[in-house]
Amino acid sequence: MLQQTRVAAVIPYYQRFLERFPTPAALAAAEEPELLAMWAGLGYYSRARNLQKAAALVAETFPSDYAALLELPGVGTYTAAAVASIAFDQPHAAVDGNVRRVVARLTNDGLVDAGRVADELLDSKQPGRWNQAVMELGATVCLPREPLCEACPVAKWCAARLAGTQNELPLKRKKPEAEYLEKTLLIIRSKGRLLLVPGVRVAGFWDLPEPFKGVRVGAKLGEFKHTITHRHYRFLVFEGVASRIPADGCWFEEEDLGKLPLSTTAKKALRVRV
Ligand code: SF4
C-alpha cells in the first residue's frame, strides 16, 4: 500500500483492510470486486491483485529465503531483501530510494550501482539492523534537500560531503511529459438502471461508456478534471440514449452501485452539475 503513496493516506485503508482480511487466507478468499472496492482510492490496482495472489501462496507457509520471497507476485528485490534480512537474518541489502540517495552521496557518484555498493557495505552478521539503519539514515538525516551532515554518523566517510556536492546528488530522474486529454463520458439510464462498461483506464473497475455505435448523445450535464500519473484529463459528461449497447456493457440497478468497484471517473461524472 505504501508504494508511491503517503503514510498518512494509507493508514485508514490499512486498518480497514486488516479488519476485513485479518489473515492471508481471508484475503486469498475475497472476491475481486470487494478487494478492489476496499482498495479504491489508493490507485495502482495491480498491487491489490498481486497482494491477493501472494496471500494465497503464503497462507500455508511463509517463505523464509530471498529467492523464494522474490517468487511471490508483487515482491521485488527491495521487499524480498527487506523481509529476508529483517525477519530471517539473511545477508541481502535492501535498496530503496533512501538507500540509493545515501549511497550516491557516500560515493559522490550519481551513476553508481547502488545495489552493488550497498551489498558490499552490508554488515552480514546483522543485515536486518544494518538495512534499517541505512534506510533510517536516509529518511531522517541524509534528507533529499538540505541533508543534516553536521549530525551524520557517517560524515567522515562521505565523499560528497568532502567535495561539497551533497545537494547535487542523487541525479534527478526525468519525469514523463504531461499529457492533456479530453474525453466524453455518457450517463445512460433506463428503468432505474445505469449502463456501465469495463473500465479502460483502470482494469477491474466499471466505468461510464464513451460514445459508441448505437448511442444518441443528448444534453451536456457538466465536466470535471481528473489526473492519473502524468495524464491530465478533462471529462465532458453528457446524457445518452442507447438503441443498442456495447457487447461488454451491463445494466446495473442504481441502488446497487455502492456495492460495485466503480471507477473514480464514473463517481465524479455522476456528481457533476452544469
Ligand atoms: S554526510 Fe551528509 S550527505 Fe553524507 S551521508 Fe551524511 S547526511 Fe548524507
Q: Could you give all domains of the chain from N- to C-terminal order, each with its CATH number? A: 93-173 (1.10.1670.10), 179-271 (3.90.79.10)
Q: State yes or no: pLDDT of 4 exceeds 80.
A: no
**Angle at CA of residue 153, ends 150 and 157, nearest 5°:** 95
Q: State yes or no: pLDDT of 9 exceeds 80.
A: yes
Ligand 1 mean position to 106 CA, how many Å? 7
| Strand 206-207, strand 193-198: pairing | antiparallel
Ligand 1 mean position to 107 CA, how many Å? 10
105 CB within 6 A, ligand 1: yes
SS3 labels along the chain:
CCCCCCHHHHHHHHHHHHHHCCCHHHHHCCCHHHHHHHHCCCCCCHHHHHHHHHHHHHCCCCCCCHHHHHCCCCCCHHHHHHHHHHHHCCCCCCCCHHHHHHHHHHHCCCCCCHHHHHHHHCCCCCHHHHHHHHHHHHHHCCCCCCCCHHHCCCHHHCHHHHHCCHHHCCCCCCCCCCEEEEEEEEECEECCEEEEEECCCCCCCEECCCCCCCEEEEEEEEEEEEEECCEEEEEEEEEEEECCCCCCCEEEEHHHHHHCCECHHHHHHHHCCC
Residue 60 vs residue 153, higher pLDDT: 153
10 CB within 6 A, ligand 1: no
Q: State yes or no: pLDDT of 222 exceeds 90.
A: yes
Average pLDDT over residues 78-99: 96
Q: Which three cell numbers stand for residue 201?
A: 483506464
101 CB within 6 A, ligand 1: no
Confidence of residue 40 (pLDDT cuts 50, 70, 90): confident
Ligand 1 mean position to 123 CA, how many Å? 19
121 CB within 6 A, ligand 1: no
139 CB within 6 A, ligand 1: no
Q: State yes or no: pLDDT of 97 exceeds 80.
A: yes
Query: 47-64, pLDDT tens digit by residue?
Result: 999 999 999 999 989 999
* pLDDT of res. 274: 55
Average pLDDT over residues 160-164: 97
Q: State yes or no: pLDDT of 205 exceeds 60.
A: yes
| pTM for the whole structure | 0.70
Mean pLDDT of the chain: 93
